[in-house]
Amino acid sequence: MSDLKIYLAAQRQKVNTALEATLVKNDKSPRIVKAMHYSLMAGGKRLRPILCLAAAEAVGGDSENAIPAACALEMLHTYSLIHDDLPAMDDDKLRRGKPTCHVAFDEATAILAGDGLLTLAFEIMAKAASNSADNVRSWLKVIQLIAAGIGYQGMIEGQMRDIASENTKLTPTELEAMHTLKTGALIEASTCAGAILGGGMSEQIEQLKIYARHIGLAFQVTDDILNVEGDPELLGKAVGTDMERHKNTYPALSGLAASKTFSHELIDKALQAIKSFSNKAEPLRAIARYIIARNR
């Protein structure tokens, strides 16, 4: 576990340095830059970019080539959080232990900051593709893959279903489908993007896709569990809110114990999918275990 902590801290540092270089902010920056920077640098786990870099390494590639994708993925994740937190959506006041973007700035600025990060993500990927000597085709695949993952047939549809389901009881199948879209699609895209940019074979990419699908769902189940029994201090956000809002969660659907068993089964399947990978996939394995063991 300690090795993983060192690895995650190093990767997080790498991502944060690249993000700071991409979205330069100082005291004189326009308000939009300050808002984008505020949410982007609010101290997330950087799970998606780290998965992207780790997947590039797992297939034997150089993760340096995947840095622009890693940055783009974190921007896309942040954009989705900013918009999800808006009063018209989940109306959340706290995120990563800090006031949400529309609270710290204002609603209009938050909408535009989300738009700005979404747009910037594609700009830096297109730039990386342009600068790439022999990897252009891989980059184009990655841009399409990510766009499809976060688009109206992916993450956005997941958020639509989440909102629509607020006063309806979902079946386990519907709940899983919603999470696969809302959180799973971007986690899957993050992992596959890294694998493609790392030069992975199509079979490896397929296996990593299965890995990602399972850890993505396990991540969501754990989020639901933490909303029941987590520590708000560690989480940086309120707990018990899902129950108050009658949200469809795994604990609500099948109880805490069954949810924990389910999350462990998912991680077992994720590990099984990358069993044939070399020890270069060790970080991916450690991340999978961490996803259900985390307390924040």
Binding site for its own copies (CB under 8 A): 30-33, 36, 79, 83, 86, 88-89, 106-109, 111-112, 114-116, 118-120, 122-123, 126-127, 129-130, 136-137, 140-141, 143-144, 147-148, 150-152, 156-157, 159-160, 163-164
Q: Are 290 and 65 in contact (CB under 8 A)?
A: no
Look at residues 291, 187, 289, 295 and name the one whose alpha carbon lies nearest to residue 236.
295
Closest distance to its own copies from the beta carbon of 110 (Å): 8
Nearer to its own copies, 119 or 276 (CB): 119
Q: Are 73 and 190 in contact (CB under 8 A)?
A: yes
Nearer to its own copies, 47 or 120 (CB): 120
Closest distance to its own copies from the beta carbon of 81 (Å): 13
Closest distance to its own copies from the beta carbon of 106 (Å): 8
Closest distance to its own copies from the beta carbon of 286 (Å): 32
Nearer to its own copies, 116 or 230 (CB): 116
Q: What is the DSSP letter of 239?
A: S
At 190, which helix (H) or strand (E)?
helix 185-197
Label residue 280 exposed, middle or buried (CB < 10 Å: 0-12, 13-18, 19+). Answer: middle
Nearer to its own copies, 62 or 123 (CB): 123
Q: How many residues does the chain have?
A: 296
Q: Are 57 and 283 in contact (CB under 8 A)?
A: yes
Look at residues 279, 280, 276, 250 and name the one whose alpha carbon lies nearest to residue 265.
250
- Looking up tokens 């920077």 gives 37
Closest distance to its own copies from the beta carbon of 178 (Å): 12
- 229-238 b/e (C-beta count within 10 Å ≥ 16 → b): ebeeeebbbe
Look at residues 24, 38, 29, 157 and name the one whose alpha carbon lies nearest to residue 102.
38
Nearer to its own copies, 10 or 163 (CB): 163
Gap between the Cα atoms of 296 and 294, Å rounded: 6
Nearer to its own copies, 25 or 209 (CB): 25
Closest distance to its own copies from the beta carbon of 168 (Å): 14
Gap between the Cα atoms of 34 and 13, Å rounded: 21
Closest distance to its own copies from the beta carbon of 202 (Å): 16
Nearer to its own copies, 59 or 112 (CB): 112
Instruction: Count, in order, helices (H) and strands (E) of the chain.
Output: 16, 2
Closest distance to its own copies from the beta carbon of 118 (Å): 6
CA quadruple 138, 47, 210, 123: dihedral sign: negative
Nearer to its own copies, 32 or 228 (CB): 32
